[in-house]
Structure 1
Amino acid sequence: MKCLIVAGGATDSDELIKSEVSKADYIICADSGYDKLSRLNIKPDLLLGDFDSINDFKSVSKDVEILKFDVRKNFTDSELAVIEAVKRNPTEVTILAGIGTRLDHSISNVFLLEKLFREGIKGKIINNYNEIIYLEGKMIIDNNGYKYISIIPLDKEGMQISTVGMAYELYDERIDFSSTRGISNEILGKEAEIILHSGRALVIKSHD
């Protein structure tokens, strides 16, 4: 089951929203994420949050499940959406509008991908320019039309990494936590392989 979370970050293009909605079996809106779907006449399955930023809560259809939380709470609306998504046992979770002008929210949303990974769920954050994935171990990664691929270490010990099928290959090399060595590589064909011998990383596919 594929779950789509629409958060309250920067608004993505209508085309991207419609494309991701068409792939989803279950849709969760976090607070003002509802506004992004409402203007396209798309109805979510679940709407949750403290509703401090949604434009017109009264317009929400009565057959949409609603979970209301107090403004003073220990989780962001995006994390609450991830928690609810996990309860529904999806195989994949995609987060739209997870990146925006609030850098604190953007960074914390990226780290929600680790929470999904721990639950055995494929997770990604996408917008019009980027796709972000959390990685431990190894993975085959598709090009999907993105020009660049960056691999950013998350641990203070850095990461030990090999790559196959990229313009700048790495062969069991160490990249330190503060290094930019993994930025702006390129996938040569339709796919490439990333092997993390140690450490954790964010994999970011992007284009200008």
Structure 2
Amino acid sequence: MKDRRIIIVTGGRLGEWAIPIIGPDDYIIGADAGALFLVRHGIRPDIALGDFDSVTAEELDQIRRFSGETHDYDPIDKDYTDTELAWRLAVDKNPREIVMVGALGTRFDHTLANVHLLRLAARANVPACLMDEHNRIRLVTRKLRIADHGFSYISLLPLSETVTGITLSGFQYPLHEATIEIGQSIGISNRLQEHEGLIEIDGGLLLVIESRD
């Protein structure tokens, strides 16, 4: 799986914008209502999983018929959300990259928990991001190159208590070996000044959020 990308589609905010993200060679995991979204758009999940409490019995039957595999979980006797189950499965497959859509939505508790899942991929040295129509969220543990893909803003927020040695190249507001503590907003709304930017840190966990209105 090292040469393939895994797409996870989970049951948060989804729309037609999500379809072009999925490529023909991607390995696809549908979590709960995310699996229903896929089959309704004619996309066959390689694996559908979850407790499926967000779909009807008829919709679950549809998911089973149009998925490669279906993994059912008891809604009470499980330790993780459906999204985390999908994420852990993806990390264990050691892919080239993990991209998750449908992870951001109206439930802020779920959204924040899903952002924290980036730590699991970072520990396994698997590149990963969360995407919706307005945002791409990644986690930096050492360095990250960012190309201009049409996002207006790039914001930096610590996921650890402190991030040290932050150096930015190719940005409108550069930094050199700066430190940002959790709760500070100095890293909000930067912009690329060149076609590509470089983010480097010495220590900590730094969220990089590319966004547009």
Which residue does the alignment assign to 2:30?
Answer: 29
Is 1:92 matched with 2:97? yes
Residue 101 (structure 1) aligned with residue 102 (structure 2): no
TM-score by length of 2: 0.92
Report the number of matched residues: 206
Q: Distance in 1 between matches of 2:31 and 2:53?
A: 11
Match of 1:113 in 2: 118
Provide the rounded CA distance (Å) in 2 between the counterparts of 1:175 and 1:128: 28
**1:177 aligned to which of 166, 173, 182:** 182
Shift of 1:188: 1.4
| Distance in 2 of aligned mates of 1:145 and 1:24 | 24
Match of 1:160 in 2: 165
Shift in alpha-carbon separation, 1:123–1:207, aligned structure 2, 3 A: same
Report the residue type matching 1:205 in the other structure. E
Secondary structure of 1:198 counterpart: coil
Q: 1:58 to 1:176 in 2, by over 3 A?
A: same
Structure 1 residue 74: deviation in Å? 0.5
8 Å Cα contact 1:144-1:190 kept in structure 2 = no
The Cα of 1:154 is off from its aligned counterpart by 1.8
* Cα gap change, 1:167 to 1:47, in 2 (>3 Å): same
| TM-score, L = length of structure 1 | 0.94
Where does residue 154 of structure 2 map in the other structure? Answer: 149
Paired AA for residue 71 in structure 2 = L
Residue 71 of structure 2 is matched in structure 1 by: 67
Distance 2:67 2:182 in 1: 47
TM-aligned CA deviation for residue 62 of structure 1: 5.5
Amino acid at match of 2:191: E
Distance 1:75 1:114 in 2: 15
**Structure 1 residue runs without a partner (length 5+):** none
In structure 2, the partner of 1:8 is 11
- Determine the C-alpha separation between the residues in 2 that align with 1:149 and 1:2: 24
Report deviation, 1:52: 0.2
Distance in 1 (CA, whole Å) between partners of 2:111 and 2:202 is 28
Cα deviation code 1:150-207 (max 9, x no counterpart): 0101222343311000001111122221110000000112210011122211000000
1:37-52 equivalences in 2 (<5 Å):
37-52=38-53
Give the letter for the 1:11 counterpart: L
Shift of the 63–187 alpha-carbon distance from structure 1 to 2, 3 Å rule, reads closer
- What is residue 136 of structure 1 aligned with on the other side? 141
| Identical-pair percentage | 35
1:96 aligned partner, one-letter code: V
The CA RMSD over aligned residues, in Å, is 1.4
* CA–CA separation in structure 1 for the residues paired with 2:194 and 2:24: 25
Per-residue CA deviations over 1:31-51 (Å, capped at 9, x if unaligned) read 000122122111111000001
- The corresponding residue for 2:60 is 57
